[in-house]
């Protein structure tokens, strides 16, 4: 199955939920392809057979069969199956079932700005530092109160370089933006979520392949839209822990 989609150029999936999405894409395309091929075959046959030279006198009534009605019902049926069987449950899983605390999800706040992505982790104390818009600027997109709030001291804030995520652990990312609408899109993870100023919207996924990944921006956000990328690496739990404690120790929400 994956091979068909890879043939079409889709990057290899690297998250647990991707399978469902890929399957849906595949099945819809199978439906489309069979309809298209069937219709096209019929179409070419008809315009050949009923060209004026071959059929000088048209038939007033034309087709008499009811195949088309069954076909239409069939299309509706398949769509309904895909809808109820795949699309709705997939979506429900994506938005209604965030990982439970027992699953030890990694929590990260992702902030978009023209034209970069930044990530913010609570640090080893697992406490989010206080944030206020009055502290926010380009280097401190999260508006962390570094000097005022002790909980902010060990927060990890990664502004330009790649951040790390552990493999096989659910990630909850809270997507937001400080200026215009951006869109957090990681093709390999099959994750897309608009970053809308004024809202912070959770997405979750479980990376399952170690590697380097790129975040692109999929919503026009100004003249730097095409260059707006972010990077993260999916690494083993040990590597992640090492990086995380180091970063957190460096303290003050270290800004690159």
Partner 1 sequence: MSEQSHNAAASHDDHDHDIASHIKTYLIIFGALLLGTVITVLMYYVDFSSMAVTVGVALFIASIKAFLVAAYFMHLMSEKKLVYSLLVISAIFFTGLMGLTLWGTHDTPKNTLMKTVYVP
Partner 2 sequence: MQATDTHAHAHGQKGHSHDHHEPGFFSKYIFSTDHKVIGVQYGVASLIFLFFGFLLVLAMRFQLANPGKPIPVVGALLEKLLGSDMAPGGNLSGDLYNSFGAMHGTIMVFLAIVPILFGAFGNYVTPLQIGAPDMAFPRLNMASFHVYFIGGVVMFASFFTPGGTARSGWTSYSPLASVTDLANRFDGQTYWLIGMVFLITSSLLGSVNFIATIIQLRCRGMSWMRMPFFVWAQFVTAFLLLLAFPPLEAAGLMQLMDNLFGSSFFLPQGLVVNGTALAVSGGGSPLLWQHLFWFLGHPEVYVLILPAIGIVSEVIANNTRKPLWGYKSMVYSTMSVGFLSFIVWAHHMYLTGMGTKIATFFQTTTMMISIPSVIILTALFISLWGGSIRFNAASLFALSFLPMFGIGGLTGLPLGFNASDIYLHDSYYVIGHFHYVVAPGTMFAVFAGIYYWFPKITGRMMNETLGKLHWAGSLFFMNCVFAPMFIQGFKGMSRRMYDGGTTYFEGVDPTALSLNKMITMCAVGLGVAQLPFIINFFSSIFVGKKVSSDNPWDATTLEWATPTPPPHGNFASEPVAYRGPYEYSVPGAKSDFTPQSEKP
* Contacts to partner 1 from residues 124-143, by CB under 8 A: 128, 130-133, 136, 142-143
- Asked whether position 201 contacts partner 1 by CB under 8 A, the answer is yes
Q: Which is nearer to partner 1, 142 or 244 (CB)?
A: 142
CA 141 to CA 73: how far, in whole Å? 53
Q: Which residues bind ligand HEA (CB under 6 A)?
A: 35-36, 39-40, 43
CA-based radius of gyration for the chain: 25
- CA-CA-CA-CA torsion sign (148, 152, 153, 159): negative
Q: Which two tokens stand for residue 200?
A: 């912070």
Instruction: Burial-class residue 191 by CB neighbours within 10 Å (0-12, 13-18, 19+).
Output: buried
- CA-CA-CA-CA torsion sign (204, 166, 157, 141): negative
Shortest distance (Å) from residue 90 CB to ligand CUA:
26
- Asked whether position 23 contacts partner 1 by CB under 8 A, the answer is no
Of 166, 158, 215, 167, give the one whose Cα is nearest residue 191.
Answer: 215
> In the range 112-171, which residues lie near ligand CUA by CB under 6 A?
112, 115
- Asked whether position 98 contacts partner 1 by CB under 8 A, the answer is yes
Q: Which is nearer to partner 1, 170 or 230 (CB)?
A: 170
Shortest distance (Å) from residue 116 CB to partner 1:
15
DSSP state of 175: E
Of these partners, partner 1, partner 2, ligand CUA, none, which one is at the site of residue 60 (CB under 5 to 8 Å by kind)?
partner 2
List the strands of the sheet with 229-235, edge to edge: 163-166, 229-235, 211-217, 182-186, 191-195
Of these partners, ligand CUA, partner 1, ligand HEA, none, which one is at the site of residue 44 (CB under 5 to 8 Å by kind)?
none
Of 203, 46, 171, give the one whose Cα is nearest residue 103.
Answer: 171
Among 110, 175, 221, 234, binds ligand CUA (CB under 6 A): 221
Q: Which is nearer to ligand HEA, 35 or 86 (CB)?
A: 35
Among 14, 15, 109, 156, binds partner 1 (CB under 8 A): 109
Residues that bind partner 1 (CB under 8 A): 94-96, 98-99, 101, 105, 107, 109, 111, 128, 130-133, 136, 142-143, 172, 174, 176-178, 197-203
């Amino acid at each position: 199955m994956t091979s068909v989609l890879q043939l079409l150029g889709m990057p290899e999936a690297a998250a647990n939920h991707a399978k469902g999405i890929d399957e849906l894409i595949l099945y819809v395309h199978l439906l489309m392809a069979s309809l298209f091929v069937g219709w096209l075959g019929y179409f070419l046959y008809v315009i050949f057979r009923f060209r004026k030279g071959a059929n000088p006198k048209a038939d007033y009534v034309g087709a008499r069969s009811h195949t088309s009605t069954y076909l239409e019902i069939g299309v509706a049926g398949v769509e309904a199956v895909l809808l109820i069987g795949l699309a709705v449950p997939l979506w429900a899983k994506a938005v209604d079932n965030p990982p439970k605390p027992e699953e030890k999800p990694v929590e990260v706040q992702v902030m978009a700005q023209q034209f970069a992505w930044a990530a913010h982790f609570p640090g080893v104390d697992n406490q989010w530092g206080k944030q206020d818009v009055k502290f926010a600027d380009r280097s401190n997109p999260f508006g962390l109160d570094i000097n005022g709030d002790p909980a902010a001291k060990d927060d990890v804030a990664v502004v330009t370089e790649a951040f790390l995520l552990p493999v096989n652990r659910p990630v909850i990312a809270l997507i937001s933006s400080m200026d215009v609408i951006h869109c957090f899109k990681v093709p390999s993870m099959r994750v897309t979520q608009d970053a809308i100023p004024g809202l912070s919207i959770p997405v979750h996924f479980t990376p399952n392949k170690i590697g380097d990944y790129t975040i692109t921006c999929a919503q026009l956000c100004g003249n730097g839209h095409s260059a707006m990328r972010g990077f993260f690496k999916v690494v083993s739990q040990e590597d992640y822990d090492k990086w995380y404690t180091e970063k957190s120790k460096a303290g003050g929400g270290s800004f690159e």
